[in-house]
Structure formats: structure tokens, C-alpha cells
């Protein structure tokens, strides 16, 4: 995959100087740049992986525990999600508002995933134990591809960034939910898959029931 | 002619409001925008169950008054666009095209990483682009 300068927005240098946290800004800008320009414009994977690793490392210096680090990554993703929703609704949905639960979930599973990662998510399942839980699973999440978690960091998952994106989309579409990323071991595979667990708040399910 | 345009956030907080005329009192136009928010709420809470109008972003004519017509548009994020015009015979198709272009400008404005979601839109580029869209709308309907 080639790396071409034209893929980056021209204002990159300026932002770098003005922003208190350069990695954060540039990262988001690239994620959005990919979605803003129509067609096959893409950012090279190595550039993305490098920036993402910088994002994680920068945030790591700012926190003193894992939960806080995950929360910061999630916040970074949230801003991306909010914008991705606005953009894709305008571009892909043909002037319709999505008001149903399954509609917005499949929108995330296919449309959002395709734009951000170039493919639809591997699976979208409903939780078996709880009515309000949905799971969006991915065998090899793009952000986790080059990341191995040190043993002492426990259950930390960089997918928190993607969970943040999903949360940003859902919250802004009027489906508030708690979204978390987890590793789930798979039989016969060395690497665990990443599951994005979506737990909707009660009012969403009540409204859904009323809509029938 | 379009005399006033407003972007209103999901908690009915104004994000952008701009009048395009010298003659009218800006306050009067703002008042009309404010009043039409209730009409939007009413439309959204009692959706028509039938046909292609369900969940459409374009809400159509909200409230006709003596001199003005007010049109509305609602995005997926519950952000409302409200337009006040003095043209009394506007085709719906023209309005749809206008709102689509306006929505595109809005999306570009909020995609700016330095824009804080839910805060006022202060971008100059956005203001200029909106002014251009408004001007070109006047041209297509009168000429």
C-alpha cells in the first residue's frame, strides 16, 4: 500500500502547531479525511498504525490506571463517531432518518464499518442473557492488528477507541448506550477476536417496544 | 427570497442563525424560527404512518404567515434547519435541493475537528458557503 502526500489535508502542519495534543488531532483528521473524500481515497495502513500507536502512547503518559486510559481512548473515538454519523446519514441514507434499533445497528455493522475499515463487521449478534445487549464482533480489528497487550495491563483493549466511535454514533442518533470492547478467545486461533459490546439504556428499549 | 436561516441543536439550542435582509427586523424573524420549533416537535411526535413520507428529513412547509413561509428539515442527529422565505410560490423540489446542499455545508462544518459538537458554528467558510447557496437559490426560482 503506497503512501501519498496528497492523501493528507493541507492544513495538517498548522494544526500540528496550534494544537495542545498533536497526535490526537491528526489522528481524527485522518479518520475523517478518509470518510470525507468520496471514492477510493485511503490512508495507508502503516501511517494509520503509527498514528494510532502514538495516540495510545501519548494517552498512556497522561493517566495512572488502565480504566482511565480506556476512557480517554473512548473519548477520542466518540468525537469521530459523532461526525461519521452526520456525514454518512447525509451521504448514504438518502434523506431518511433512522429511528429503529435494528436499523441503526445494521447501519453501524455495514455502512460505518465499510467506510472506516473497508469491510463489513464479521458478525452482529444479540446477547443471549440480556435483552438489551448486542455484540459486534471482529476477528482482527484494524486498530488491534499490530498491538499486543503486556501481561501486566490485564484486560486492556485498544478497541476502546472503536467502542468510542460506536458510542458516538449511537448517542448522537438518539440511542444512548454503554459500549465496551473485549477480547474473546476463539478455539483453534492464536489471537482472540474483539467484541464490541453494546448495552442500551432502558429508555431505548421502552421506546422500541412502543414503536412496535 | 430567503430572509432567514437557522440551525438548531437537539436540545433546541441555536447553533447558527443568520438573516439575509436589511428590511425586516431580525428579532421578528428569530421569533418566527422559535415558534416553528413547536411545529417541528408536533410533526415528529405524530408521524404519518403511511407511504414515502415516513422518517423523511425534509419536513415541508411548517407554518405559512401573511408575508412569509417557514420550511423545516430534521437530520438524524435531531439538528433542525429552519428557513424563512418571502417567496410565496416555491416548489417542494427546489426546497429539497436547497436543504440538501445546506446539509452538505453543515456536515463539512461539523466534521472540522476543532468544532465542538453542540456548540455554535463559528466557521467563516461555512457562513460564506451558506451565503452562496442562498444567493443561487434566489436565482433559480426567479430567473
User: Which residue bears the cell 467506510?
Assistant: A115
pLDDT at B125: 92
In the DSSP assignment, the letter for residue B56 is B
For residue A7, pLDDT over 80 is answered with: no
pLDDT at B8: 92
Chain A to chain B Cβ contacts (< 8 Å): 61
* A171 in B contact zone (CB under 8 Å): no
Residue A2 lies in a domain: no
Alpha-carbon distance A86 to nearest alpha carbon in chain B (angstroms):
6
Alpha-carbon distance B10 to nearest alpha carbon in chain A (angstroms):
9
Residues β-bridged to residue A133: A199
Residue A140 lies in a domain: yes
For residue B62, pLDDT over 90 is answered with: no
Q: Crossing angle, helix A22-36 and helix A45-62, to 10 degrees?
A: 150
Alpha-carbon distance B36 to nearest alpha carbon in chain A (angstroms):
20
Q: Which residues of A touch B107 (CB under 8 A)?
A: 86-87, 90
Decide if B85 contacts B3 (C-beta within 8 A).
Answer: yes
C-alpha cell, A14:
498548522
CA–CA dist A90, A104 (Å, integer): 14
Say what the pTM is.
Answer: 0.80
**Comparison of pLDDT for A207 and B141, the residue scoring more:** A207
Alpha-carbon distance B23 to nearest alpha carbon in chain A (angstroms):
34
Q: Which residues of A touch B92 (CB under 8 A)?
A: none
* Residue from B111, B115, B125 to probe the interface with A (highest A Cβ count within 10 Å): B111
Mean local confidence (pLDDT), A162-187: 91
Other CB atoms within 10 A of residue A1 CB: 8
Question: What is the secondary structure of B80-114 as a DSSP string?
Answer: EEEEEES-S---HHHHHHHHHHHHHHHHHHHTSTT
Decide if A31 contacts A116 (C-beta within 8 A).
Answer: yes
For residue A12, pLDDT over 60 is answered with: no
pLDDT at B51: 53
For residue A178, pLDDT over 90 is answered with: yes
Residue in A closest to B54 by C-alpha: A96
pLDDT at A41: 61
∠ CA A82-A9-A96, nearest 5°, is 35
Task: Assign residue B103 the CATH number of its domain.
Answer: 3.30.450.70
Exposed e or buried b for every residue in A169-182, given b needs 16+ CB within 10 A? bbbbbbbebebbbb
Residues β-bridged to residue B85: B2, B69
* A83 in B contact zone (CB under 8 Å): yes
* A173 in B contact zone (CB under 8 Å): yes
C-alpha cell, B138:
434566489
Q: Quote the ipTM score.
A: 0.81
User: Which residue bears the cell 467502542?
Assistant: A163
* A31 in B contact zone (CB under 8 Å): no
CB contact under 8 Å between A90 and B58, yes or no, is: no
pLDDT at A177: 93
* A115 in B contact zone (CB under 8 Å): no
Confidence of residue B50 (pLDDT cuts 50, 70, 90): low
Confidence of residue B42 (pLDDT cuts 50, 70, 90): confident
* A82 in B contact zone (CB under 8 Å): yes
Residue in B closest to A86 by C-alpha: B107
CA–CA dist A84, A89 (Å, integer): 8
How many domains, chain B?
1
**Comparison of pLDDT for A113 and A13, the residue scoring more:** A113
Residue A3 lies in a domain: no
**Comparison of pLDDT for A170 and B139, the residue scoring more:** A170
**Comparison of pLDDT for A132 and A10, the residue scoring more:** A132
For residue B88, pLDDT over 70 is answered with: yes
Residue A190 lies in a domain: yes
Residue A41 lies in a domain: yes
For residue A24, pLDDT over 50 is answered with: no
**Comparison of pLDDT for A176 and A34, the residue scoring more:** A176
CB contact under 8 Å between B76 and A25, yes or no, is: no
How many domains, chain A?
1
* Residue from A95, A98, A167 to probe the interface with B (highest B Cβ count within 10 Å): A95
For residue A180, pLDDT over 50 is answered with: yes
pLDDT at A4: 43
pLDDT at A155: 81
Residues of chain A above pLDDT 90, percent? 26
Alpha-carbon distances of B58 from A158, B18, B93, rounded to whole Å: 39, 20, 10
Mean local confidence (pLDDT), A185-195: 85
Alpha-carbon distance B100 to nearest alpha carbon in chain A (angstroms):
8
Q: Which residues of A touch B108 (CB under 8 A)?
A: 36
Domain hosting residue B104, numbered range: 2-142
Residue A178 lies in a domain: yes
Q: Which residues of B touch A87 (CB under 8 A)?
A: 107, 111
Give the pLDDT confidence of A119-163 residue by residue, as tens digits.
888 889 888 888 889 999 988 888 888 888 888 887 888 899 999
pLDDT at A161: 92
- B26: Cβ contacts below 8 Å, ≥ 6 apart: B4, B19
CA–CA dist A95, A82 (Å, integer): 18
CB contact under 8 Å between B56 and A95, yes or no, is: yes
Residue A86 has its nearest CB partner, among B55, B56, B110, at: B110
Give the pLDDT confidence of A54-87 residue by residue, as tens digits.
999 999 899 888 889 999 999 999 988 988 888 8
Task: Assign residue A19 the CATH number of its domain.
Answer: 3.30.1380.20
Domain hosting residue A132, numbered range: 8-211
Confidence of residue A10 (pLDDT cuts 50, 70, 90): very low
Amino acid at each position: 500500500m503506497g503512501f501519498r502526500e496528497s492523501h493528507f489535508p493541507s492544513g495538517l502542519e498548522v494544526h500540528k502547531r496550534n494544537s495542545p495534543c498533536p497526535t490526537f488531532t491528526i489522528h481524527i483528521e485522518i479518520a475523517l479525511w478518509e470518510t470525507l473524500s468520496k471514492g477510493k481515497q485511503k490512508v495507508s495502513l502503516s501511517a494509520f498504525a503509527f498514528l494510532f500507536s502514538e495516540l495510545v502512547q501519548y494517552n498512556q503518559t497522561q493517566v495512572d490506571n488502565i480504566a482511565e486510559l480506556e476512557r480517554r481512548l473512548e473519548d477520542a473515538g466518540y468525537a469521530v463517531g459523532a461526525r461519521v454519523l452526520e456525514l454518512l446519514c447525509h451521504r448514504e441514507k438518502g434523506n431518511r432518518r433512522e429511528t429503529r434499533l435494528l436499523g441503526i445497528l445494521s447501519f453501524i455493522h455495514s455502512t460505518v464499518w465499510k467506510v472506516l475499515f473497508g469491510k463489513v463487521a464479521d458478525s452482529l449478534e444479540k446477547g443471549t442473557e440480556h435483552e438489551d445487549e448486542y455484540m459486534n464482533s471482529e476477528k482482527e480489528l484494524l486498530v488491534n492488528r499490530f498491538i499486543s497487550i503486556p501481561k501486566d495491563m490485564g484486560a486492556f483493549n485498544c478497541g476502546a477507541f472503536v467502542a468510542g466511535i460506536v458510542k458516538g454514533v449511537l448517542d448522537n442518533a438518539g440511542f444512548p448506550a454503554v459500549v465496551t470492547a473485549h477480547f474473546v478467545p476463539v478455539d483453534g486461533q492464536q489471537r482472540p477476536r474483539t467484541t464490541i459490546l453494546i448495552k442500551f439504556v432502558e429508555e431505548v428499549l421502552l421506546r422500541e417496544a412502543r414503536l412496535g | 427570497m430567503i430572509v432567514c436561516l437557522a440551525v438548531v441543536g437537539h436540545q433546541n439550542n441555536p447553533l447558527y442563525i443568520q438573516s439575509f435582509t436589511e428590511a425586516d427586523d431580525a428579532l421578528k424573524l428569530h421569533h418566527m424560527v422559535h415558534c416553528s420549533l413547536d411545529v417541528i416537535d408536533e410533526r415528529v411526535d405524530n408521524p404519518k404512518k403511511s407511504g414515502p413520507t415516513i422518517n423523511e428529513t425534509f419536513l415541508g412547509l411548517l407554518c405559512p404567515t401573511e408575508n412569509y413561509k417557514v420550511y423545516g428539515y430534521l437530520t438524524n442527529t435531531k439538528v433542525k434547519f429552519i428557513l424563512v422565505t418571502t417567496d410565496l410560490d416555491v416548489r417542494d423540489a427546489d426546497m429539497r435541493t436547497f436543504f440538501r446542499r445546506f446539509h452538505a455545508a453543515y456536515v463539512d462544518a461539523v466534521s472540522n475537528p476543532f468544532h465542538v459538537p453542540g456548540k455554535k458554528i463559528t466557521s467563516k467558510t461555512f457562513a460564506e458557503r451558506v451565503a452562496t447557496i442562498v444567493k443561487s437559490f434566489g436565482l433559480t426560482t426567479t430567473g
